[in-house]
Structures are given as C-alpha cells and as structure tokens.
Amino acid sequence: MEHLVFEFGPYPERPRPAAAVIVGVVGSGNLEALCESAPLGGRLRVEVSSSVHGFGNTWKAVLGDFADRVRLPDLLITINDAGATPAVVGLRLAQAAAELGAA
Amino acid sequence: MDRIWNRGERDRAARMARARAAGLGRIVEASRIGELLAAVLVPGDRICIEGNNQKHADFLAASLAKLDPAVIHDLHVVQSNLALPAHLDLFERGIAKRLDFCYSGDQGVRMARLVKEGRIEIGAIHTYLELYSRYFVDLTPRVAFVAAHSADREGNLYTGPNTEDTPAVVEGTAFKSGIVVAQVNELVDRVPRVDVPADWVSFVVKAPKPHYIEPIFTRDPANITEIQVLMAMMVVKGIYAPYEVARLNHGIGFDTAAIELILPTYAESLGLKGRICRYMTVNPCPTLIPAIESGWVEGIHCAGSELGMEAYTAARPDVFFNGPDGSMRSNRVFCQLAGHYADLFIGSTLQVDPEGNSSTATANRIAGFGGAPNFGSDSRGRRHVSKPWLMAGREAARPGGGTMPRGRKLVVQMVETYREKMQPTFVEKLDAWKLMDEFGLDLPPVMVYGDDVTHLVTEEGIAHLHRCATVAEREQAVRGVAGYTPVGLARDRAAVEGLRDRGIVQRPADLGIDPRLATRDLLAARSIKDLVRWSGGLYDPPKRFRNW
C-alpha cells in the first residue's frame, strides 16, 4: 500500500456541499473516492491509498489538473485505489465534481 | 515458329492427368489427400491455403504440412492470414519458402523467428484488398486450397455465411488455368445455393472434421468499461451527431461495441435515430443486435460471418445480404470496398505517435495489416458526395492549399491513453520503426497514417486533427488528448488551451457530456445473455461465451 497526500489551493470561498459524496468502488482497476467538507484553510486535500506503487507523479498531475478545474475550497478527498488507470481516476473525479455541483 | 498461347492450360491438363492416372476423380477421399497433393503440385508453385479471419482450410493446410520436402519444396504462399500452426510448419519443414500475406495474428512471434532464421522470405505485407488485387496481377495462385460448407457430386460449392475470401481466391486461380481444391464439411445431393460453380472447382475433399471457424468478433458486453462508455458518448455526440454519419465501418473492439450498445439509449436520448449509423460495413457483431432490433441500423454488409449469428442473420434479410436459400453470404473484398467508400471508419490501435500515426506492430512480432489501412484512409478516388464527406472536406481546406474544393473521409481512432498494465498508448516513436530495422523492411509498418486521421478520441477528449493548420498544431492536438502519458505531459499547455478555444480539442465537458451518465447502465445489453434476449433467442452464442 502506498500512501500519498496532496494539497492544492487555497481557493476562494464558495458554498460548501451539504453532504459527502462517494463515487466508485474498490475493485481491480477501479477506485473509491469520498469527498467531504473539512476545515482546510481554503485548500483542497487529497489522501490516496493505492495498491500500486511508484505513480506519485502521475497522481500529482491528474489531481492537480482536477483541483485547478474545480477550485473547491475546504474539500477533503479520500481515495482508495486498486490500480485504476488515470482514465478511471479522471472519470471518478469528474463524477464526484458533477455531484458536488462543480462540473 | 508458332508461339504457344496456352501454356497454363496445358500445364493444368498435365496436372489433372496425373491425378486421373492415380485414380482420383473430382471427389477425393480424405485418406488419399497425399496422393492428390503429389499429383497437382510441383516445386516452386505459388499456392494459397484459404486462411481468412475466421474460416480455415485446416485439413488441407495440415495435409500440405505433411508433404515430403524432398519432393515438394520452394512453394510460394500467397494468402491473407497465417493463423494456423500448420501454415508455418510448411516453412519450418522446407516445403514453402516465400511468403506474401496480410496478417499473422497469433502466429506473429513464431513467424518473426522463422524470418530471422531465413526460413521465410517475405515478399510483402499487404492489406486484404492489396493481396486480393495482386491475385489478378502478379500473384495469381497456381493451386488454391479453399474451404466450403458443402459440395454436391458435381463440385458446386456452398460456403454458407462464411463466404469471406473464397470468391476472390477461386476466381483468381480458376480463370488463370490454376487448380482449385476445396475441403468441405459435407457432401450433399444438392447444395442450398451455388457460391462457387462446379466448373471452377477441380477437386473436392470431404474433411474428417468440419473446418475451423474462429469467433473473433464476439465481444461480451460484460467486459465493457465505463471509460469505453464515456468515449462512446463522445463519439456519438461529438462526431456522429454533427456530421450526421449514416454510412460507416466499425472496428471490432470493445470501444466500438460500446458505441453500438449506446445507440438505443444515449443516441436515442439525443434524438439521432434515423440520422446516424443507418448502414454499416462490418461483421455481424452480436453487439449490433440491440441497435438492429430497435431500428437504428437498417443495412449491414459483412466481410465474414460470426459463430452463433447464423439464425439471426437469416431471420433479418432486410438488414443482411442473404441468398435465395435464406442464409447470409459474406464477401471480404466487397465489404472492404464498401467500407473504403463509406463516410467514416472508426477503430482502435495499440500505439499512436505525436503525428497521429498509429500501429499495432510490437517488437519481435510480425502482425501484418488486415483491413484497417484500407478502411482507415481517405478514399481519394471517391467522387460521390454526402454531408459528412463535404463537411470534413471543407474543414480540412487550408488557405493557400489550392482552389479546388474536395470532400474527405472521416477516419477516427479511438484509444484509451493507457492500455492494460499501464502501457502508454501514446509514444514519441512507434515500435514500428524498431520492427523495420529488425526485419529490414523498407518502411515502418504503419496501420493508419496520421494525415488520414480526422479525429483522435481518448477519455481526455476529441482532437479534430484535420482542422489543424500546421504540423506543429496537429502535434499539440495529439498531445492535448494524450492525458498523463509522457507524450501528453509534454504538451504545451497554452497551445492546447488555444486549440480548445477553437474547438479543435474538445473535453467531455466542452461537449456537454455528464460524466455521471458514463456507467454500464447506459449499455442496451450488459451481458451475452442480454444479447440473446434482444435477439428473441435467435442468437446462439458459442459455449465459451455462455456463463449461465
């Protein structure tokens, strides 16, 4: 298991999502992402637990683009990854963003 | 001295006389196949052992591989597919020497070894249409070994739905004084229909076992991923809808299967019925069943058939090309031609470079081409017009590119940025270059050239390559949809955003696609069993696809 933490922002204040959002499932080539509000000083924080090692730079690039697109302050995203490709990561995050009303 | 004008006929007569002298008539017992081959073959002959995508003259191939290389050697094999171990045994045992072919599939690695050992001399690697064309120019077989479903006592052949390459092989051979040997599954009093007339056939052998047919076009919807659903949505909304693509050719992978399966759902919701996907040139892929049943696809011409689809195609004569006997007839040459002149080709590939060139070649394996290069290229000889062809032509026109307006075929490559095991699909340099060096080829084996591609679709978006004004711009468009592969990460972000502003690179969000819809729920059928249900029980999937 590899644990990675990334922080982006801070981003300007905006209405927070009321409820937490969960997308995806933990299964081979897939991932589960839980998105919830958290007091992070306006930052967007992502905590990744991945079954695959050595893709830190790829995670950073994928998550950085996502954060830059949605610019959601005080959001904590917890990802349980079972070897998802960047394509699957991107789709799950896009689905989460749509649920959070930030698409 | 009088010139002789019928050397071929005389030679054929001599071979036929040798067979008669051995006591062999038109119908030959399987046990006497060795005697027949010895009678009709001579060293150096150019031969074709019908080996298509699916149907194989496997009994004849195995019998040829058992010949004594001291007697029969230096054969020149001219056939589309090298798919059976026996095809390569011929070279390994020194019976055949030279090879002109299209596609090797699973035998690609062994073929590469035999080439390196000097046991196979490759003439050229062709597309299907190229090789069949050369049967009528400089590669006419002297003896052709074909496969049919049944024959009558006279030698009339019925191929059944898997007609495939038989007409091209037989015509090239029989009309140039060659010899045609057919293996059949059964001898009957009367064939259901005559696919090859008896006077084009020299000998018929009932094989001990029915010829082998590979179900290579069956894609289980259970294996379609949400990424494939997302890309299918992009293709439908971003390409099929604006161009109104009604006549097209689909590849045979899961990517295009996903498109077929969202026609009755997603495309329906966009109100596209009757405007897109009306006529297709493709094998009878089971994943087309829901689109046919719900009235999307009106006509399909097939290059071959597909195991289990026989009763279904027979029950849908308005859609498929069926004979007076009721069963379908396929024809690879006509289907390839029909696809070449259709408005759009869409398929997948293994590697794409920054110029948009794509290849399925990988190191140590000679895979060949098959049909994709012909389907996946602009048909520059085309003259009839259609909305998509004119629209793409207008979009591709460049200032300073001359005054003559032209049309253009839509050629779409659909790939995920990473394949399984995190292999990037996008590479700075195709493995095809390595293969060229390794095997002394004159050119890298490229499947679809970048300048023929109009659209590149990945999970990251659509790149409208034909609208790029310069080569540099085109490269950024490719990198712009290459995601997080090294090729994608090396993009010029500002340039890509500029292309996005001009609509040359479109993200799913730019197309108004809700990523929450990209789930397997959007598939009209999610399993093989669903397909059987859609077909009203007419589709009879092969055992290996039945898991209920």
DSSP per-residue letters across B24-41: --SEE-GGGHHHHHHHH-
Asked whether the ipTM of the predicted complex exceeds the cut of 0.95, the reply is: no
What distance lies between CA B439 and its chain's CA centroid? Answer: 24
On whether both B489 and B350 belong to a single domain, the answer is yes
- What is the least distance, in Å, from the CA of B415 to any CA of chain A? 11
Could you tell me which of B46, B79, B57, B54 has the C-alpha nearest to residue B368?
A: B79
Residues of chain A neighbouring B230 (CB-CB closer than 8 A): 91
Which residues 6+ apart lie within 8 Å of A80 measured at CB? A26, A31, A32, A33, A49
Q: B228 to chain A: which residues are within 8 Å by CB?
A: none
Calpha distance B463→B503 (Å, rounded): 9
Cβ–Cβ below 8 Å for A103 and B514:
yes
Pairing of strands B358-359, B410-414: unpaired
Q: Omega of the bond prior to B541 within 30 degrees of 0, cis?
A: no
Q: DSSP per residue over B463-528, as a string?
A: EEGGG-SSHHHHHHHHHHTSTTSHHHHTS-HHHHHHHHHTTSEE-TTTTT--GGG-SGGG-S--SH
The residues of chain B scoring below 70 in pLDDT are: none
CA angle B501, B506, B511 (to 5 degrees): 110
Roughly what angle, to the nearest 10 degrees, separates helices B166-174 and B332-340? 110
Residues of A within 8 A of B458 (CB-CB) are 87
Residue B297 included in any domain: yes
Identity of the residue in B227, B489, B514 whose CB atom sits nearest the CB atom of A87: B227
For Cα atoms B8, B14, B16, give the angle at the middle one, nearest 5 degrees: 100
User: Computed from CA positions of residues B503, B277, B227, B476, in that sequence, does the dihedral angle turn out positive or negative?
Assistant: negative
Angstrom distance (rounded) from CA B423 to CA B404 = 43
User: Do B49 and B99 lie in a common domain?
Assistant: yes
B240/B120 same-domain check: no
In a domain, B71, yes or no: yes
The residue range of the domain holding B317 is 221-397+406-528
- 3-state SS of B142-189 is CEEEEEEEEECCCCCEECCCCCCCHHHHHHHHHCCCCEEEEEEEEECC
Question: Which of A22, A85, A92, A93 is the best substitution to test chain B (most B C-beta atoms within 10 A)?
Answer: A85
Q: Indicate whether B182 and B48 sit together in one domain.
A: yes
Residues with Cβ within 8 Å of residue B361, at least 6 apart in sequence: B350, B351, B367, B430, B431, B432, B435, B444, B445, B447
Please give the Cα distance from A21 to B119 (Å, whole number).
Answer: 62
For residue B106, give the DSSP letter: G
CB pairs under 8 A between A and B: 49
Residue B188 lies in a domain: yes
Residue B539 lies in a domain: no
Residues B177 and B239 in one domain: no
In which band, very low, low, confident or very high, does the pLDDT at A100 lie, cut at 50, 70 and 90? confident
pLDDT given for residue A16 in this prediction: 76
Closest residue of A to B225, CA-based?
A88
Compute the distance between CA of residue B515 and CA of residue B522 in angstroms, rounded to an integer: 12
Which carries the bigger pLDDT value, residue B233 or residue A99? B233
Nearest to B143 by CA among B188, B102, B86, B182: B182
Rounded distance between C-alpha atoms, residue B345 and residue B412, angstroms: 6
> Position B345: which residue type?
F
Residues B69 and B194 grouped into a single domain = yes
CB B473 within 8 A of CB B430: no
What distance in Å separates the CA atoms of residue A32 and residue B183, rounded to the nearest whole number? 55
Q: Which of B178, B211, B244 is the last residue of a domain?
A: B211
**Is B545 contained in some domain?**
no
Sign of CA dihedral A22, A83, B455, B465: positive
Decide if B483 and A87 are in contact by the 8 Å CB cutoff: yes
Q: Which among A55, A87, A103 has the least Cβ separation from residue B417?
A: A87
Residue B168 sits in the same domain as residue B296: no
The reply to whether B304 and B325 lie within a common domain is yes
Q: Strands (DSSP E) along chain A, which ranges?
A: 2-8, 21-24, 31-37, 44-50, 75-81
In angstroms, the CA B442 to CA A24 distance is 48
DSSP assignment, residue B401?
S
Of B211, B246, B272, which residue is a domain's last?
Answer: B211
Indicate if B239 and B278 belong to the same structural domain. yes
Residue B192 shares a structural domain with residue B282: no
* B53 neighbors B81 (Cβ within 8 angstroms): yes
Phi, psi (deg, nearest 5) at residue B146? -120, 170
**Within a domain: residue B286?**
yes
The CA distance from B377 to the nearest CA of chain A, in Å, is 28
Instruction: Name the amino acid, one letter, at B333.
Output: V
For residue B152, the domain's CATH number is 3.40.1080.10
Residue B341 CB-half CA count within 13 A: 11
What are the start-end ranges of the E strands in B427-469? Answer: 455-458, 461-464
Assess whether B87 and B234 both reside in one domain.
Answer: no
Q: Which of B404, B407, B382 is nearest to B396 (CA)?
A: B407
- Residue B537 lies inside a defined structural domain of this protein: no
Domain count of the fold of chain B: 2
Categorize the per-residue pLDDT at A103 as very low, low, confident or very high, splitting at 50, 70 and 90. low
- Give pLDDT tens digits for A75-90: 999 999 999 999 999 9
- Indicate the residue type of B419: R
User: Are residues B226 and B163 part of one domain?
Assistant: no
Q: What percent of chain B has pLDDT over 90?
A: 90
CB contact under 8 A, B514 and A91: no
Query: What token pair was written down for B482?
Result: 């290459």
Q: With pLDDT > 70 as the criterion, what percentage of chain A qualifies? A: 98
Q: Span A42-70, mean pLDDT?
A: 95
- The answer to whether position B413 is within a domain reads yes
For residues A43-69, average pLDDT? 95
Encoded tokens for B216: 């290579």
